[in-house]
Structure 1
Amino acid sequence: MALVLASQVNVAFAKPVSSGKRLILFDKQIIPVSVSTFFVFVSYGGITTFIPLYAASISFHSGTFFFIYALTLLLTRPVAGMLADRYSDKMVIVPALGVTMVALVILAFFPSATGMIAASILYGIGFGSVQPALQATTIRRVATERIGSANASFSTATDLGIGLGAMLLGVVSQFTSFRMLFLVSAVSVLLSLLVFTVIQRNEKVKENTRKTA
């Protein structure tokens, strides 16, 4: 189905004019956003890997968690995209990261069916909103001819976050508990928020400097 749908996509391609510059694999403008993306996806690696084990330990069906999460994701993303277009990516990313942290804290301190359902809804809202907003932010920071590279950098950050996050959180769960695992995940999302906040602050300083120059 993906192949059939993709074959119907018609996107005009214009070969960029060579400027004589050497190939640049990563743009400096997107490295900070990639770091923020990495940290938020560490938590996602923990969710996808350990929710089945955690759910089994409290006699809850993990499929219910992922079904509610997916449904919430489906309903949230169009709204989040509309808000990002109307206002800004920042207006979506910052609250979404906060909601994601709350979901992880609920998983840590409320090991029950009610806690799992509440966490699945909140994680769907938070993560479902922040992922496309971070990708949009990444793309908007580069020139048109660098969009492919920007998307590749975003995908690399997500894959590294998921893979390394699952490994790191696996060690945490082995030597501590599920509660600590989800708390570490929440701290990872907090780091993502801090990195993004620093990015916004630096950009505001640069903008003010240009205006006063």
Structure 2
Amino acid sequence: MSNKPKLWTKNFIGISASNFFLFLTFYILLVTLPSYALNELHTSASQAGLMTTVFLLSAIISRPLAGNWLERAGNKKVLLTALILFAAAAPFYLFPKTTAGFLVIRLLHGIGFGMATTAAGAIVADIIPFSRRGEGMGYFVLSTNMAMVLGPFVGLMTMQQWGTKIMFIISIAVAIGALITGLSVKLPKQEQDEQKVAAAFSVRNLFELSAVPIAIVGGFLAIVYSALLSFVSIYAAQIHLEHVSSLFFVIYAVVLLISRPFTGKWLDLYGPNVISFPCLILFAIGMVVLSQSNGAFTFLLSAGLIGLGWGTLFPTFQTIAIQNAEPRKRGLATATFLSIYDTGIAFGSFLVGIIAAKMEYSSMYFICAFYILIGAGLFYVLHTKRKATTKAQSRAQEIS
């Protein structure tokens, strides 16, 4: 046990803290800006929705560019540039009085967010010991989950109690926190120099092809997750459980926190297939339980099942994306995975909105369970079977 390489280093804690503050800023603004746009800027609902859409689109577009830049300039330089842009954009939320002004800030903020989260993912992949990569990525992604729970609570409570200005000031402070903790990360100079390559810029160099198959699976399943993010609180109110709706993602996060020490280690010991297929089944069962919920117990039970299922799958898929890439391509692999995943979230939010207008939420969530099972088939074809075929071909070449 004592021979295990160390995971909880100063660098790992620093980059995880920076990632937490990045996502905390994101979630504080995600839940408050549409309401601010409607009530204080007096925009339409569609314009209020653009506050999120513009941010996500700029993040999605900037990620492949950041991934390419990581290869050329090194992880630390890209991280600091992105964190400075992210922190510098935050104070401007205090000034504009028009929707157009806010959308420009959301565009800049999204670019900083997309670049910073890509660089953070690449850095953490480099500093986690190889034998503990599944465990380490699980804890790193947990920082995102914690922000997802805390961010909406802080944003809404602050806006309701003290007003929008104080909420913006808190988001500025949190964005600066991301920069300060990012500055604490010290990469060895040799490691930074090795990352710099003189690859010619091309569209092909914006994506890491080895990460695409598992990213497609992640993006496919992200559509279900977007249905939870967008409508689970509305569904709770519809079934008269609004008094426990705020606890859904709290239970989700608590289950993750409890299970993470085990699931991450099992991934390292037994590989992704042993973890992924049971988690896909748990995710599907969680959606069925959610769709049939008629009381607080079943509603929160579904949150725990979904947390254990999807909450374990996401870092598992991200670990696969990184492990399939060459060491110098890890940044690009992270960018590719997150870009396709975020595209799934963005497309899912739009698609699920259309579906939710035409059927009951309970029916939609029930159908999602079968959709997840299709996702399990997709995982088998694009990862399990593909990996087995590649191994068989490698053995055949060795024999010949």
TM-score by length of 1: 0.91
Distance between the aligned counterparts of 2:231 and 2:272, measured in 1? 30
| Identical residues among aligned pairs (%) | 25
Alignment of 1:40-189 (within 5 A): 40-60=221-241, 61-189=244-372
Task: Kindly indicate whether the alpha-carbon contact (under 8 Å) linking 1:38 and 1:161 is maintained by their aligned counterparts in 2.
Answer: yes
Structure 1 residue ranges without an equivalent (≥5): none
Task: Kindly indicate whether the alpha-carbon contact (under 8 Å) linking 2:208 and 2:336 is maintained by their aligned counterparts in 1.
Answer: no
Distance between the aligned counterparts of 2:245 and 2:293, measured in 1? 15
SS of aligned partner of 1:24: helix
Q: Which has the higher contact order (CA 8 A, sep 6+)?
A: 1
Task: Kindly indicate whether the alpha-carbon contact (under 8 Å) linking 2:210 and 2:333 is maintained by their aligned counterparts in 1.
Answer: no
Distance between the aligned counterparts of 2:348 and 2:294, measured in 1? 22
Task: Kindly indicate whether the alpha-carbon contact (under 8 Å) linking 1:42 and 1:185 is maintained by their aligned counterparts in 2.
Answer: no
Task: Kindly indicate whether the alpha-carbon contact (under 8 Å) linking 1:32 and 1:195 is maintained by their aligned counterparts in 2.
Answer: no
Shift of 1:88: 0.8
C-alpha spacing 1:59/1:19, structure 2 compared with 1 (3 Å): closer
Distance between the aligned counterparts of 2:219 and 2:267, measured in 1? 21
1:80-133 deviations in whole A, cap 9, x for unaligned?
211111221222122111111110111112333222111011011111111111
What is the CA RMSD across the aligned residues, in angstroms?
1.9
Shift of 1:28: 2.5
What residue number does 1:9 align with?
185
1:127-151 deviations in whole A, cap 9, x for unaligned?
1111111000000111111111111
Shift of 1:21: 8.7
SS of aligned partner of 2:205: coil
**Dislocated runs of 4+, deviation >6 Å:** none
TM-score by length of 2: 0.50
Structure 2 residue ranges without an equivalent (≥5): 1-176
What residue number does 2:216 align with?
35
Distance between the aligned counterparts of 1:87 and 1:99, measured in 2? 18
What residue number does 2:388 align with?
204
1:145-169 deviations in whole A, cap 9, x for unaligned?
1111111111112211212112211
C-alpha spacing 1:188/1:156, structure 2 compared with 1 (3 Å): farther
Letter in 1 for 2:181: L
What residue number does 2:36 align with?
none
Letter in 2 for 1:186: A
Distance between the aligned counterparts of 1:188 and 1:161, measured in 2? 14
Distance between the aligned counterparts of 1:168 and 1:20, measured in 2? 37
Aligned length: 213
Shift of 1:17: 4.2
